[in-house]
Amino acid sequence: MRIDHTESYKDFGEQFLVDSKIDGYFGSQEMLNHTIKPFDLRRLKGKIVMEVGCGSGRILKNLLECEPKKIIAVEPSVAIDVAKRNNVGGLKKIDFDNIKAEEINRYDEIDFCFSIGVIHHIPNADIAVKNIYNALKKDGEFVFWVYGYEGNELYLAIFNNLRRITRALPDFMLRGLCSVLNLLCSLYIVLVKVFPLPLKDYMLNGFQKMTWEKRNYVIFDQLNPSYAKYYKKSEVESLLSNAGFSITDITHTDSYSWTVIAKK
């Protein structure tokens, strides 16, 4: 029996209607390059690219700058309209599909597929990844980033329980809580500069580079979704091999997440 993740994508759709800006480090190619390293975005020039879960369009914006031939942007929620507004200058190159990843129905069409921070919010990830495999041309590549289990053990022990409460809160209350946690995170950044504490690499390489507004968004993003999975390396490998992929690179990005490059 398959699990429906209607609430998950609705959560994000509503969130992106509020958190619609894609400026600063959070929406930069610098952050994208760091997230998908060692993949070289220059390879996209003249290619057909797909992004699964385009959200507000921040990754889409950076993919457009790489001069692909065409981009297929898959997004099931109302956030697809936000992505269109944020990429109005490139609409001639983008085909928007307002569908779930489990509903992708393309075959041997795509050169490169990206999915950044999305697969871990899809309970039926096996269906989504198989559909992506089918959509890729022979030797096409799937580049994705997911939360990792390794490196997040203490975080999960605390926040997995907290999320049971926070995802039921009204958004205005959760956003207030996020501001308080944001302040605590600012203090934590000071501490990780001195001590080897959990999530040190992420706090220094990513979180501290964001504006206060974007930090609030990231915290909200952790506490609001109805479904979030933190993948063990072995689970990532099984997910891909079961779909038919060969992994060419898997990186433990900032010691808390997995960046994977896989080939059809």
Give first-to-last CA distance, the chain, whole Å.
27
Point out which residues pair with 50 in neighbouring strands: 72, 113
CA gap 133, 15 in Å, rounded: 29
CA gap 199, 214 in Å, rounded: 18
For the chain, domains (ranges, CATH) are 6-149+228-263 (3.40.50.150), 153-223 (no CATH)
Q: 37 Cβ partners below 8 Å, 6+ apart?
A: 251, 253, 259
Over the chain (264 residues), the average pLDDT of each successive run of 10 is 52 80 92 97 97 96 97 95 94 96 96 97 95 98 97 89 86 93 96 95 95 94 89 98 98 97 98
pTM here is: 0.93
